[in-house]
Amino acid sequence: MDALTPETDGPLADVALVELLNRVLDRGVVITGEVVISVANVDLLYLNLSLLLSSFETLDSRTGPGTGAS
């Protein structure tokens, strides 16, 4: 395979997939408060800030004083 052929299928499809994920989730115009974090261009962690905050509030309420949680 020509090294300069766009690699969208075949044995190097993983390369193109990683590139796709890296672009769609980590690049482009951002106008809302959602955050995508990529690690080594492969492992992707998607954080919705509002979801994270609400989850934290839920967790906080469950582990707050009187719940007995440590």
Partner 1 sequence: METGFHLYCLLPASRVDPAEVRGIDGREVIELHVEDLGVWCSPCEKSPAPDLDRIRAHDRVIRGASTETVTALPFRFGQWFAERSTMESRILGQAPHYREALDEVAGAVEFGIRLEESTEGSAMKPSEGQTSESEAAAVTGAGAGAEYLRRLAREREEREIRYSHGESTLEELHRLVAGFTRKIRVDPVAGRGSIASAAHLVPHPRIEPYRDALAAFMKDRVALELRLTGPWPPYSFADAGTSA
Binding site for partner 1 (CB under 8 A): 3-8, 12, 15-16, 18-32, 34, 36, 40-42, 46, 48
- Residue closer to partner 1, measured from CB, 13 or 59: 13
Beta carbon nearer to partner 1, 17 or 59:
17
* Torsion from C-alpha of 38, 29, 48, 26, nearest 10 degrees: -10
CA distance 23 to 41: 10
Rounded least distance, CB 68 to partner 1, Å: 33
Please state the closest distance from residue 52 (CB atom) to partner 1, in A: 13
Q: How far is the CB of 70 from partner 1 (least distance, A)?
A: 32
Tokens of 48: 């919705």
